[in-house]
Structure 1
Amino acid sequence: MKIAVLDDYLQAAQNGIDWAALGNDAALTVFTELLPAGLEERAAALAGFEVIVAMRERTPFPAELIRLLPELRLLVTTGMRNLSIDMAACTAQGIVVCGAPGSLQAANATAELAWAHILGLFKNTVAEDQAMRAGLWQTRMPAILAGKTLGVVGLGKLGQAVATVGKAFGMAVLAYSPNLTDERAARAGVTRVDKHDLFRQADVISLHLILSDSTRGLVDAQLLQAMKPGAFLVNTSRAGLVDAGALYRMLKDKRIAGAGLDVYPEEPLAADDPIRRLDNVLLTPHLGYVNRENFEAFYQSAVKAIAAWAGGQAVHVLS
């Protein structure tokens, strides 16, 4: 059984993970670099593998790629949702797709990162760190959080975690979700508003929606233009929620104070992407789910999923 583990950028896949439990007939290949971009080249790199373990949505599996992998029988994705896999194409080709759950301990890791971005933006931590290393002292005026308004778009588990911290800092918290009710907002201790009011009133907006057909492009040019000139936008969710071109223009023209971004339309973000050159953005390389506890759970779950499938009893089947 030839197994490929993809996109192990931090070389965590073999750190304490018992792949040997799959038996002597299991041959493991770990890819620590991004696969080639071209479809034919990518298919060639994956040729011959019966099992592939994908790290979240780092490598997409469209129908065109799946058709070029006739020996693939099991596709395991870390996490329990992966919009970059064409499930219908997998089913048509007889490929089982299974999820590999992460760590419950790390469930709020993305909310923690959102707050790292919010605090970094309000306190100018990146700019002041760079200034200190250049021999300077106090170059920008930090802002306080108390008394400001936090807008949370998506009041699920992560959105509620972000809102709780905002209230602890003495912020007023507004929330919007497509199906949010006043009662559910009240239980979370926040105020439900429509999306236009949220973008007009908030001093910082944090996005926590699942990307779907109904939420793709939800943060469009009109909503961005409604933001206060001194407001920040933080996106640790999915890049597709936001009109990337409109956001870049708003940031470049200093129409809003800045943004904290962990997700991008194309990942990894190109080295020459113009957003890297803006001085009013805080950028991180999609770290929301990246932590030791989560990765250990992902890969341990992947081993269990492969073993169960090989034994004829697939678990966490997604397709």
Structure 2
Amino acid sequence: MKPRIAVCDDYERAVTGGADWEAIRSRAEVVVFDAPFGGRRQAIDALRDFDAVCLIRERTPFPAEVFEALPRLRFVVFTGERNLAVDHLAAARRGIPVSCTPFGPSKSSTAEQAWALILAAAKRVTVADAGTRRGHWRGDASGERYGLPANLEGERLGLVGLGQIGSKVAAVGRAFGMEVVAWSPNLDDARAQAAGAVRVSKDELFETAGVVSLHLVLSDRTRGIVGAGELARMRDDSIFVNTSRSGLVDGAALLDALKRRRPSWAALDVFDAEPLPADDPLLALPNVIVSPHLGYANERVFAAFRKGAAEALLGWLDGAPVRVVNAEQLTA
């Protein structure tokens, strides 16, 4: 009997094409799930009869409970180079290798998405579009006036995190004529200067920046690093942008701050629950712009996912999995 492979959460139907996947289909049954499972129990029920699973980013979490509930499972591959939603140790305890794929130009893609959101908020693109489509030339979808667009030249761009993505965002900010400042727990003056930014304190960044954009890796140290105190310091005309991870921010505090219009706008690509429920209170606020976690989603990135996932699955079918991220735990 052929092994069964599940491809989870391929919303774009973009991962299973090409010659490599035809080679996989000749040796295994491939089933694509192109919609969210709706919860952990639903995921377990859907996946219990599969030998291998391909995960698209962190769309379906794979904690120990899921591994323990899938006795037939023998291999997991996730797209990208890191996935905090997969319990590598729990997989190793079951003798299950976990592989990853190359990530392609995801960092530039995420930086571009951050700027799409910044510009949409600063230039009032979404409210203007909605109003114009409803026949309101200078009003929102209800005909109400909206604030004049902001000018970015001469404004201060505050980056929380100045790694590869933050540095790309900084470069665009400088091209717009913005003053770029940055803070992170480990940032020093030399690294900030190398990226064309000035290191400032966390308090100064939130108090003075017209645009605050998050670019930190989520960890125990950074979870909730932006809370009520930081948001309360923001200017009443500022824009808050998150294309990184929602766990960096206290969600309840952000919702409250936006109701108080401090910050003036939030532009968000990441959320605590994804897909974002239609009744999420963020969607009821007129000063929130959302995109459905598009930061890494483009053809070049998914081409790397497609090729890398196929390589990993073919390696597993041949008994020699590649790019195994839990190799040390498997041999411990």
Q: TM-score, normalised by structure 1?
A: 0.96
| 1:162-201 mapped onto 2 (5 Å cutoff) | 162-201=169-208
CA distance in 1, matches of 2:71, 2:19: 28
Partner of 1:296: 303
Partner of 2:57: 56
Within the candidate set 154, 160, 164, 1:147 is matched to: 154
CA distance in 2, matches of 1:11, 1:37: 21
Within the candidate set 275, 281, 287, 1:274 is matched to: 281
Of 13-22 and 294-303, deviating more is 13-22
Of 145-154 and 27-36, deviating more is 27-36
CA distance in 2, matches of 1:53, 1:169: 41
Shift of 1:255: 2.4
Gaps of 5+ in 2: 140-145, 327-332
Shift of 1:107: 3.4
Shift of 1:14: 3.0
State whether structure 2 residue 260 is matched by structure 1 residue 235: no
- Please state whether the residue corresponding to 1:76 is helix, strand or coil: strand
Partner of 2:258: 251
Shift of 1:253: 2.0
- Please state whether the residue corresponding to 1:44 is helix, strand or coil: helix
CA distance in 2, matches of 1:170, 1:17: 46
Of 183-192 and 236-245, deviating more is 183-192
CA contact (8 A) 2:156 2:181 kept: yes
CA distance in 2, matches of 1:208, 1:215: 11
CA contact (8 A) 2:40 2:66 kept: no
Partner of 1:111: 111
- Please state whether the residue corresponding to 2:252 is helix, strand or coil: helix
Partner of 2:11: 9
CA distance in 2, matches of 1:315, 1:97: 9
State whether structure 2 residue 308 is matched by structure 1 residue 286: no
**Alpha carbons of structure 1 residues 38 and 191: separation in structure 2 relative to 1, 3 Å:** closer
**Alpha carbons of structure 1 residues 248 and 17: separation in structure 2 relative to 1, 3 Å:** farther
**Identity over aligned residues, as a percent?**
47
Partner of 1:32: 34
Whichever residue aligns with residue 243 of structure 1, its letter is D
CA distance in 1, matches of 2:244, 2:192: 20
Shift of 1:23: 5.9
CA distance in 1, matches of 2:34, 2:193: 46
Shift of 1:138: 2.6
CA contact (8 A) 1:17 1:300 kept: no
Whichever residue aligns with residue 257 of structure 1, its letter is S
CA distance in 2, matches of 1:10, 1:307: 22
CA contact (8 A) 1:173 1:191 kept: yes
Partner of 2:24: 22
- Please state whether the residue corresponding to 1:100 is helix, strand or coil: coil
Shift of 1:103: 1.6
- Please state whether the residue corresponding to 1:282 is helix, strand or coil: strand
CA contact (8 A) 1:203 1:232 kept: yes
Partner of 2:127: 127
Partner of 1:137: 137
CA distance in 1, matches of 2:254, 2:248: 11
- Please state whether the residue corresponding to 2:100 is helix, strand or coil: strand
- Please state whether the residue corresponding to 1:52 is helix, strand or coil: strand
CA contact (8 A) 1:17 1:296 kept: no
CA contact (8 A) 2:242 2:268 kept: yes
* CA RMSD between the two structures: 1.3
State whether structure 2 residue 221 is matched by structure 1 residue 221: no
Of 41-50 and 58-67, deviating more is 41-50
CA distance in 1, matches of 2:52, 2:40: 21
Whichever residue aligns with residue 283 of structure 1, its letter is V
CA distance in 2, matches of 1:287, 1:23: 29
Of 300-309 and 131-140, deviating more is 131-140
Whichever residue aligns with residue 283 of structure 2, its letter is R
Shift of 1:57: 0.4
CA distance in 1, matches of 2:38, 2:194: 48
CA distance in 2, matches of 1:23, 1:189: 49
CA distance in 2, matches of 1:307, 1:251: 48
Whichever residue aligns with residue 73 of structure 1, its letter is R
CA contact (8 A) 2:240 2:267 kept: yes
**Alpha carbons of structure 1 residues 310 and 15: separation in structure 2 relative to 1, 3 Å:** closer
- Please state whether the residue corresponding to 1:70 is helix, strand or coil: coil
CA distance in 2, matches of 1:38, 1:157: 33
